[in-house]
């Protein structure tokens, strides 16, 4: 599955109709959540029946395509199922109890409620919300795919306009030649990552760079009268700055992950819990600005696309253990050099990257199988088998970033 995104061009009335469709989908989701709260224990079938009752009771809900309403119910049920799963697994902390949405930004259609023009440059929404025909601006060519391959269409509202996303059932794997190289990555704040060969990737720090502009736009918002049109415009300008920083961070992670996966056959990285690390109020801004989660997401995606093996290892003691003799050398965050009693001295992050690679090589039997050709002078070939990689392949459904 791949996601193809286009900029939607239309009239002001059409944009208002899209907003109305998004509000309706939000209304259905919140009503279904309320029904579950009042009738604890009901299943997905009962939620669908409640959606049918809502369509009979409210005319504006009936005006929205029935499949779009079903998707709103599915989103509500996924939140309920996640809550039950967290309770069953006894996950520490909050269990993500389903809450009401206040500012939804998308509405999703299935295989009905829309139609493409012959040139595939326009899309027409045929429900009674009055969205009509929208021009599609983008570099993707929808003529390459059959209409039966388009499984879902999503309308997304962002600070800089409206977008149309197509979920296409297509094979996205690319045959690439093996390089015979393996690598371990240690992500950080000072450097974006340090690999097991000693190379470093600088951290661009997009949020830190744009923080001055953000503060300026935030001050302009605070000076406007609440509820006024000028305040709404100032909020939009602030949102555009946030959106630009988000896109810069996402594109940087995507570009670097692609290069890493094309250059290596096995990539090892830390299985970090970013949410827990960000609880440190001294480092939270820097951790979130680094974009470690986006980098890992794209590593796994390109690993599946190019047929490479990606291994997430336990980060415990990777910075403390000596990569030469294995002795634990206690270090604070301010100590940037690893100095062991065995005489081995190395940069702290480089030492951690070597330990990460060693851990990955000791556990590759769980994520894949290495096949060595005796006539290939030690070149490595990988076969993507195993439970973990199967789950990775099933979970990577993205092609274009949000």
The residue-averaged pLDDT of 287-312 equals: 90
Where residue 281 falls among pLDDT bands split at 50, 70, 90? confident
| Residue 375 pLDDT class (50, 70, 90 cuts) | very low
Q: Which residues pair with 108 in a beta bridge?
A: 154
Q: pLDDT class for 57, splitting at 50, 70, 90?
A: very high
Q: Is residue 100 scored above 60 in pLDDT?
A: yes
The residues, ordered by sequence, that sit 6+ positions from 332 with a Cβ below 8 Å of its Cβ are: none
**pLDDT(400) > 60:** no
Model confidence at 376: pLDDT above 90: no
Maximum average pLDDT range among 157-161, 323-327, 363-367: 157-161
Residue closest to 305 by CA, chosen among 174, 196, 395, 186: 174
pLDDT, residue 210, reads: 92
Share of the chain above pLDDT 90, in %: 54
Question: Helix, strand, or coil here: 189?
Answer: coil
- Give the residue from 265, 269, 297, 300 showing the smallest Cα distance to 201: 269
Report the C-alpha gap between 201 and 373 in whole angstroms: 33
In this predicted model, what pLDDT tens digit does every residue of 2-49 receive, in sequence order?
A: 899 999 999 999 999 999 999 999 999 999 999 999 998 898 999 999
Strand partners, 21: none
- Determine the pLDDT at residue 346: 84
- Name the helix (H) or strand (E) containing 296: helix 292-305
- pLDDT recorded at residue 399: 46
pTM of the predicted model as reported, rounded to 2 decimal places: 0.80
Q: What's the confidence (pLDDT) of residue 369?
A: 31
For 117, 143, 168, 169, 357, the CA distances from 146, given in Å and listed in that order, are: 13, 7, 9, 10, 43
Side-chain half-sphere of 227: how many Cα atoms within 13 Å?
A: 0
pLDDT of residue 337: 82
What per-residue confidence (pLDDT) applies to 12?
94
pLDDT of residue 359: 87
Phi and psi angles of residue 191, each rounded to the nearest 5 degrees, phi first: -115, 145
The pLDDT of residue 150 is 93
pLDDT band at 364 (very low <50, low <70, confident <90, very high): low
**What residues does each domain of the chain span?**
2-168, 182-205+237-395
Note the helical H segments in 116-266. 206-223, 229-263
Q: What is residue 218's three-state secondary structure?
A: helix
- Number of neighbours of residue 302 by Cβ within 10 angstroms: 22
Which is nearest to 206 in space by CA: 94, 285, 134, 312?
A: 285
List the structure tokens of 104.
């939804």
Instruction: Give yes or no for residue 311 having a pLDDT over 50.
Output: yes
Exposed/middle/buried for residue 400 (C-beta within 10 Å: 0-12, 13-18, 19+) = middle
At residue 395, the pLDDT reads 37
Digit-coded pLDDT (tens) for 196-255: 888 999 999 999 999 999 999 999 999 999 989 999 999 999 999 999 999 999 999 999
Burial 277-291 (b: 16+ CB within 10 A, else e): eeeeeeeeebbebbb
Give pLDDT tens digits for 84-97. 999 998 877 788 89
For β-strands 309-313 and 266-270, DSSP reports them as: parallel
Q: pLDDT tens across 325-349, in order?
A: 878 878 777 778 888 878 778 888 8
What is the predicted pLDDT for the residue at 341? 76
- pLDDT for the residue 325: 84
Question: Is 184 within 8 Å of 268 (Cβ atoms)?
Answer: yes
Rounded mean pLDDT, 55-79: 94
Residues 6+ apart with CB under 8 A from 261: 267, 299, 302, 303, 305, 306, 308, 310
């Amino acid at each position: 599955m791949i996601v193809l995104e286009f900029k939607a061009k239309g009239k002001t009335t059409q944009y208002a109709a899209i907003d109305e469709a998004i509000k309706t989908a939000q209304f259905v989701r919140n009503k279904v959540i309320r029904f579950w709260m009042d009738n604890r224990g009901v299943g997905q079938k009962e939620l669908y029946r409640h959606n049918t009752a809502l369509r009979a009771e409210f005319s504006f809900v009936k005006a929205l395509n029935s499949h779009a309403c079903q998707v709103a119910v599915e989103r509500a049920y996924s939140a309920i199922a996640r809550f039950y799963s967290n309770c069953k697994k006894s996950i520490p902390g909050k269990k993500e109890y389903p809450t009401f949405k206040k500012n939804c930004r998308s509405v999703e259609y299935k295989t009905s409620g829309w139609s493409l023009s012959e040139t595939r440059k326009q899309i027409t929404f045929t429900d009674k919300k009055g969205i009509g025909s929208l021009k599609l601006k983008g570099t993707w060519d929808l003529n390459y795919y059959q209409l039966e391959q388009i499984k879902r269409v999503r309308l997304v509202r962002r600070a800089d306009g409206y977008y149309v996303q197509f979920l296409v059932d297509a094979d996205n794997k690319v045959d690439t030649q093996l390089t015979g190289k393996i690598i371990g990555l240690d992500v950080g704040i000072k450097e974006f990552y340090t690999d097991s060969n000693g190379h470093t990737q600088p951290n661009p720090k997009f949020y830190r760079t744009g923080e001055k502009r953000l503060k300026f736009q935030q001050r302009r918002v605070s000076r406007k009268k609440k509820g006024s049109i000028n305040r709404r415009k100032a909020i939009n300008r602030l949102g555009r700055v946030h959106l630009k920083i988000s896109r810069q961070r996402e594109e940087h992670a995507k570009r670097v992950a692609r290069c890493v996966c094309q250059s290596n056959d096995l990539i090892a990285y830390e299985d970090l819990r970013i949410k827990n690390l960000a609880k440190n109020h001294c480092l939270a801004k820097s951790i979130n600005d680094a974009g470690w989660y986006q980098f890992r997401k794209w590593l796994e995606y390109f690993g599946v696309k190019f047929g490479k093996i990606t291994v997430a290892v336990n980060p415990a003691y990777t910075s403390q253990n000596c990569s030469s003799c294995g002795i634990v050398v206690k270090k604070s965050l301010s100590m940037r050099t690893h100095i062991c009693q065995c005489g081995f001295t190395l940069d702290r992050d480089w030492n951690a990257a070597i330990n990460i690679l060693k851990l990955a090589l000791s556990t590759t039997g769980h994520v894949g199988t290495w096949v060595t050709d005796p006539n290939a002078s030690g070149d490595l070939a990988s076969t993507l088998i195993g439970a973990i990689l199967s789950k990775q392949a099933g979970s990577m459904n993205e092609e274009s970033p949000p």
